[in-house]
Structure 1
Amino acid sequence: MHHAIDEVLTEKMNEGELRPTLRFWYRKNPSVPMGRFQAYEDEVEHDYAKEKDIEVVRRVTGGGAMFCEPGNVITYSIYLPVDEVHDDIERSYQELDSFAVEALKSLGVDASYAPMNDIEHPDGKLGGAAQLRKDNAVLHHTTMSYDLDTAEMLRVLRIGKEKVSDKAVKSAEQRVSRISDHADHSREEVIEALIEKFTEDKEREESSLTDEELEEARELAEKKFSTDEWNRKL
């Protein structure tokens, strides 16, 4: 459903029907969101995911597979006109996640941007971002680990030795860091700090999804994002 909402709102931005928007969203179930161009069989331990009822869904954005748990990650999407986003992809990642880096620093987390699309702490990766660009719109979304079960992550994701060695680390678990390890703040307090930092130089208006947007997303979730044809097509 949330990936369908991303597509609906990005298309509205593309058609000039949406103001620049920051959306925080929350998964009800453990899940593995895969990058659009990844192969299902290469990324997911299928039997384990099925046994534990872990949802696997393909995003509309590129990037790598992640493991997400309800209440233990922080995910936001930003919808912007393409002319408000830098043409250089790497620079755009840095600029669009800069508010998050600064918000984490204000909470005492030694966060920094790491090319091309990561937010890191000296102890490991806090989160990663992905993008979709259309003619007139950009979707940028980021997921950060607040208190993720990294052992469970390693059980459900296929993280090969080559991928790990490329990062020059002893294990994949050492590559993951959690906000809760470095700041004595609740998840809600972290999200509020992110909102305040993002909007500190902007006019701010809080709103909810419209009935029309939700209905369009529900239809898209059923016909596309819930299907094996979409999720396992590679």
Structure 2
Amino acid sequence: MTETWYFIDTQQQSPAYNMAVDECLLNWHSNKKIPPTIRFYEWLPAGLSIGYFQKTVNKIDLEAVQNSDIELVRRLTGGRAVLHDQELTYSVIVSEDHPKMPKSVKEAYLVLSKGLLEGFRTLGIDASFAIPEGKLNTTQSAVCFEEPSWYELVVDNKKAAGSAQTRKQGVILQHGSIPLTVDNDKLYDLFVYRNERVKQRAREAFNDKAISIEQVAKRNVTLEEMKHAFKKGFETGLDIKLQEIQFNKEQEQEIHALMESKYLSDQWNLSR
């Protein structure tokens, strides 16, 4: 029998709200208040999410972030910074002991990313899993999309979706970014480089490392079309049925309380 998971589309929300929702979903699933859940969301204003362990000093140009009307927020998950603007963002919340979930982080990426792979296929895009040769390279770059990790989605050897995962309270949280378009100028202006020449070289090299939905589809693709494709993709890839839900009043209150106390605070966002 096909298992039913919750599905929620919170649409355009602030960066702090978006991260608070993911943590609340993790907590609720850990406490058995909700079944496994897939969520889609967007960002208004645009957000720069930084990894749980990522430093901001000498890495992120905080003045440029502020002047660009972009809001910085720290994620629960690791990895490097992601600019969330014209994109579809997803999150998956599922117990570590779920029968379909492997024990290793890498293999769990493979299982969950099957939903992304099927979503790309629904859009008519020939994507595949990244399988790095040997150990992943470690670079000093703060930019997430500069290289794919295990089982992230690539098209023409360029990263097409970036994901990050954490495990807390017996629950896997994986969330990620699927860019509809990418603004290289805006992206690289948010990071600290030794000089403008080094920044420009990194900006130019990015075109060979990452690709957006519109670039690879070579046509206009709407966010609604992406949502339909990736929702269907998760159902097919994970062999599940998605039941759409909305948050109730108590859940919204909990989300906003966490947003105010944690994800809007400089102590959380800047002082890790």
What displacement does 1:118 show?
Answer: 2.5
CA distance in 2, matches of 1:49, 1:191: 28
Match of 2:103 in 1: 87
1:17-96 to 2 correspondence within 5 Å?
17-69=33-85, 72-84=86-98, 85-96=101-112
Q: Deviations over 1:90-145 (max 9, x none)?
A: 11112101111122023222212214252211152112111121232111111111
The two structures have a TM-score, normalised by structure 2, of 0.77
Match of 1:124 in 2: 158
Given the superposition, is the C-alpha separation of residues 101 and 219 from structure 1 closer, same or farther in structure 2, using an over 3 Å criterion?
same
What displacement does 1:196 show?
Answer: 1.2
Residue 218 of structure 1: SS of its match in structure 2?
helix
Aligned residues of 1:130 and 1:142 also touching (Cα < 8 A)? yes
2:263 to 206, 225, 232: 225
Gaps of 5+ in 2: 1-16, 131-148
CA distance in 2, matches of 1:159, 1:175: 19
What displacement does 1:46 show?
Answer: 1.4
What displacement does 1:83 show?
Answer: 1.2
1:198 maps to 2:240: no
Aligned residues of 2:48 and 2:72 also touching (Cα < 8 A)? yes
Aligned residues of 2:122 and 2:233 also touching (Cα < 8 A)? no
The two structures have a TM-score, normalised by structure 1, of 0.89
- Counterpart of 2:263 in structure 1: which amino acid? F
Given the superposition, is the C-alpha separation of residues 211 and 13 from structure 1 closer, same or farther in structure 2, using an over 3 Å criterion?
same
- Counterpart of 2:54 in structure 1: which amino acid? Q
Given the superposition, is the C-alpha separation of residues 211 and 181 from structure 1 closer, same or farther in structure 2, using an over 3 Å criterion?
same
Given the superposition, is the C-alpha separation of residues 112 and 159 from structure 1 closer, same or farther in structure 2, using an over 3 Å criterion?
farther
Aligned residues of 1:129 and 1:141 also touching (Cα < 8 A)? yes
Given the superposition, is the C-alpha separation of residues 49 and 20 from structure 1 closer, same or farther in structure 2, using an over 3 Å criterion?
same
What displacement does 1:159 show?
Answer: 6.9
Gaps of 5+ in 1: none
1:137 maps to 2:171: yes
CA distance in 2, matches of 1:159, 1:186: 34
Aligned residues of 2:118 and 2:234 also touching (Cα < 8 A)? no
- % of aligned pairs identical? 27
CA distance in 2, matches of 1:158, 1:124: 24
| Paired positions, count | 227
Residue 49 of structure 1: SS of its match in structure 2?
helix
